[in-house]
A and B are shown apart, each in its own frame.
Chain A
């Protein structure tokens, strides 16, 4: 699985390679959740909505961080900006294998507030790498990673679907339109994780038991203004029901696509 195995040569000082990795996670409505809004369309209606850890954070960013730690040693710390409802998400991450967690106790108004809070913790700690999912499945912004990298003045490797570390050099494959870009970079850096970077891990019973006693530190936020505001939400117009075309009427389908839908 890992190319790190190759770096474990006899007599090699593994301590020099230890990686302290901070993994940013966020809570999102489950993919299958029905989305509705309340308070005059200014807030998500959370009634009956199940929340999960953002899949890109959990499946790819966190698991690759754990694999690196398992190969070279170090520490995996989870970080989230949110209220006490986030604790269940963080406990799940701890059950999957993270060592400890930090929760910044505030409800962020925008991605900049999230990035600023995480940056503050990165400066206060001693992290070599920060991993995030490539985007959240609620606001679909892809903004926090780039903002965090800029605040820290670190390189940002976005949409990574492959990461190998050889000593102090990381080789990262990044998804671009119609292809892949291969890059080399040395820690520290911020990376956003896409499918392919790792495989989802399901927490086992031992992990779930251990997670209950792992440290989860709650810290106060730094106050600061938001730069954008999600003012209101609308649902798309109800799609009119599908127009069925008989399987032997493909000329008619082509005509409709040309003349009615105007997409050909």
Chain B
């Protein structure tokens, strides 16, 4: 049995939840077992977890679970794992998933492997690969316990719809008292959050000043991408801190990362080197980022970026 904790936002299954479900369903196929989804708190369509392959859905609709708290959520997930006899507990490697996995693993006396990006090898137990050293290497991690808790790295797997709605069973675990009060959530509206974005357009000091960001935003808009920036740009207040990607900022792994006027310091690369395809635009042919790039354009970004935006516009028109 594979139990997947499915994250929701505003009651809807998030992309990270769809990815965890798809991973869980593929893992269940591999282990010749079934995949059960667990949805916590308010949910508009818990049965929708069936589309990604869950054979049934446990829904704990207790109002105490409407706002996140790691202790409460972990207790509910562990209870569901025990009830279903789960051998694998799967969740997203998201802010919430990362806060939960260790707690759930302690409760279940399970081994925990976080940010996995492959299905495990089950031939001799459970061995699974994950990125280590900030993307510089991969490790194969063996789980030494009967139960494994796995968090799935963002964008490691594409959500796949394989079925239809699944039956929903109410689930009412005993919950501990809440210790953390959630006072509010401030979301940046309108954009796909950086850790979930499939295309990221990022710019650095080569932009010369915050007033020049129009061309970056226009390219991002044309691509349906999320904007990001390098550390010096965030530190000098040209762009908000939540856009900072890199070692100390947010680590991302989009399908396409376009770096504009960023030299590619190792600290920056540590946060973006797991991107599937990297395009670097820089006027300095010696910029270290070109060594990590798949495609490079050596040129003046103030000319190249608008041309790229135009080319994308044209390519859409031709379809």
B156 to chain A, nearest CB (A): 13
Q: Mark B248-269, 1 if CB is under 8 A from A, else 0.
A: 1101000110000000001100
Asked, given contacts A177-B95, A178-B188, A257-B295, whether A242 binds B280 with beta carbons under 8 Å apart, the answer is yes
User: Is A143 a contact of B307 with CB atoms below 8 Å?
Assistant: no
Q: Mark A154-189, 1 if CB is under 8 A from B, else 0.
A: 011111000000000001001111111111111001
User: Is A158 a contact of B193 with CB atoms below 8 Å?
Assistant: no
Name which of B96, B132, B291, B314 has the most chain A CB atoms within 10 A of its CB.
B132
A172 to chain B, nearest CB (A): 8
Which B-chain residue is minimally distant from A190 (CB atoms)? B70
Give Cα A226–Cα B113 distance, bound, in whole angstroms.
12
Find chain A residues with CB under 8 A from B276 CB. 261, 263
User: Is A184 a contact of B70 with CB atoms below 8 Å?
Assistant: no
A196 at the interface (CB under 8 A from B): yes
Give Cα A41–Cα B75 distance, bound, in whole angstroms.
38
User: Is A233 a contact of B132 with CB atoms below 8 Å?
Assistant: yes
User: Is A146 a contact of B308 with CB atoms below 8 Å?
Assistant: no
Which A-chain residue is minimally distant from B96 (CB atoms)? A176
Give Cα A87–Cα B99 distance, bound, in whole angstroms.
29
Of the listed stretches B31-39, B57-65, B163-171, B298-306, chain A binds B298-306
Asked, given contacts A138-B132, A236-B138, A263-B276, whether A227 binds B112 with beta carbons under 8 Å apart, the answer is yes
Q: Mark A229-260, 1 if CB is under 8 A from B, else 0.
A: 11111111001001111111011011111100
Give Cα A264–Cα B70 distance, bound, in whole angstroms.
37
Asked, given contacts A195-B241, A257-B279, whether A185 binds B70 with beta carbons under 8 Å apart, the answer is no
What is the interface of chain B mostly: helix, strand, loop, or mixed? mixed
A145 at the interface (CB under 8 A from B): yes
A198 to chain B, nearest CB (A): 12
User: Is A156 a contact of B183 with CB atoms below 8 Å?
Assistant: no
Q: Mark B134-151, 1 if CB is under 8 A from A, else 0.
A: 111111111111000000
Asked, given contacts A146-B98, A182-B184, A247-B299, whether A234 binds B134 with beta carbons under 8 Å apart, the answer is no
User: Is B308 a contact of A254 with CB atoms below 8 Å?
Assistant: yes
A32 at the interface (CB under 8 A from B): yes
Asked, given contacts A228-B113, A248-B307, whether A174 binds B266 with beta carbons under 8 Å apart, the answer is no
User: Is B103 a contact of A138 with CB atoms below 8 Å?
Assistant: no
Q: Mark A129-158, 1 if CB is under 8 A from B, else 0.
A: 000000001111111111111110101111
User: Is B137 a contact of A233 with CB atoms below 8 Å?
Assistant: yes
Give Cα A26–Cα B300 distance, bound, in whole angstroms.
43
Selected from B186, B247, B293, B315, the residue in CB contact (under 8 A) with A254 is B315
Selected from A138, A157, A227, A253, the residue in CB contact (under 8 A) with B145 is A227
Q: Which residues of A contact B (CB under 8 A)?
A: 29, 31-32, 35, 37, 55-56, 59, 110-112, 115, 137-151, 153, 155-159, 171, 174-186, 189, 195-196, 225-236, 239, 242-248, 250-251, 253-258, 261, 263-264
8 contacts across the A-B interface (CB closer than 8 A): A112-B105, A147-B102, A148-B102, A177-B193, A178-B188, A250-B304, A250-B310, A254-B308
